[in-house]
Amino acid sequence: MIKSPAIMNPHCITGLENLPDTARGCVLTLGNFDGVHRGHQGILASARALADAEGLPVVAMTFDPPPDLVLRPEDPPRRLTLPDRKAELLCEHGADYAVTARADMAMLGMEPEAFVRDILVGYFAPKHIVEGNNFFYGRRRAGNVQTLRVSGVECGFTVHLAESVVSDFGDGAVLISSTLIRELLLTGQIDHAAQALGRAFEITGRVVQGEQRGREMNFPTANVDPGRQITPGDGVYAGTAMIDGQEHLAAISVGQQPTFGGEVRTIEAFLLDVSGCFYDKKITVKFVARLRDMLRFESQAELAEQMRKDVERVRSIVG
């Protein structure tokens, strides 16, 4: 079998065919892991504890493209994390190897028993598998924790359930999930999203050319193309921007620029205390706090004055 090129981090592996022999006989967990949120982190912690007790590696298997994108290309959910960053986060939270398998109709259409036999046992030969209560696999999501336990008896692995992780945002405890975090972000609840993620939400993309209105007001912004990542609800946010290996304070606006009658939704980051041309460079924007709604001002001068106030709030909150 010809192996596809491996990515630089030896612990972040693209393609099941690139799995090293040292990953076999592992404690395995698998799932979409979008966001690698606190619920996912709990699963990884349980897997890590099992692995350390028996001297085994922890392997986290995930998918790209996401299964939902393959099964429902007309209505895919926006990603919380890009594949490379997701693999890094899985390793940061306890996995020895993060393996990204290519999701296609052939794999997603496998019957549960065949998926366990040919994919899980065939590639990983796990000693243990750790999952959450809402784990499903195989064609039409017909496999679940109960069927996985039956397969474990036949194939020589033990199935463990990690405890669910909940959070209380003031209205009672809710189960942390990728869907919940997307809902929080779409409504601009950056602080609650961070609480569920265990870190501030971030977007990584390329800087693209905008209409340069910020430059005209001495507030030049980096326009970020988020690709398939979800973007927070309209508003102005305090945060940071990482570019060229340096992190800068940033005032970030998300919306349609109502002062100028804009119709295109954009993400614009004004980087404090730095200047230069950033077109086509990779940028990671981190959202720390929501400052205000997007507002329509009567003039550019009024908008510029408000932006100066926003910048000072960024310094006080993030700096």
CATH topology of domain 200-317: Elongation Factor Tu (Ef-tu); domain 3 (2.40.30)
pLDDT at 211: 64
Q: How far apart are CA 252 and CA 123, in angstroms?
A: 44
| DSSP annotation of 6 | P
- Sequential pLDDT tens for the chain (319 residues): 233 444 457 899 999 999 999 999 999 999 999 999 999 999 999 999 999 999 999 999 999 999 988 988 887 779 999 999 999 999 999 999 999 999 999 999 999 999 999 999 999 999 999 999 999 999 999 999 999 999 999 999 999 999 999 999 988 999 999 999 999 999 999 999 999 999 999 999 999 986 655 554 456 889 999 999 999 999 999 999 999 999 999 999 999 876 555 668 899 999 999 888 888 999 999 999 999 998 887 777 888 899 999 999 999 999 8
Q: How far apart are CA 65 and CA 225, in angstroms?
A: 19
Calculated CA dihedral for residues 101, 105, 109, 113, nearest 10 degrees:
-20
What are the extents of the domains in the chain? Answer: 12-164, 200-317
Specify whether the CB–CB gap between 131 and 159 falls below 8 A.
yes
Helix axes 190-197, 178-186, angle to 10 degrees: 160
Q: How far apart are CA 95 and CA 225, in angstroms?
A: 30
Choose among 119, 123, 129: nearest CA to 150.
129
Calculated CA dihedral for residues 266, 272, 276, 280, nearest 10 degrees:
-30
pLDDT at 276: 80
pLDDT at 2: 33
Q: How far apart are CA 275 and CA 231, in angstroms?
A: 25
Q: How far apart are CA 71 and CA 290, in angstroms?
A: 35
Question: Which residue reads 């501030």 in tokens?
Answer: 200
Cis before residue 65, ω within 30 degrees of 0? yes
CATH topology of domain 12-164: Rossmann fold (3.40.50)
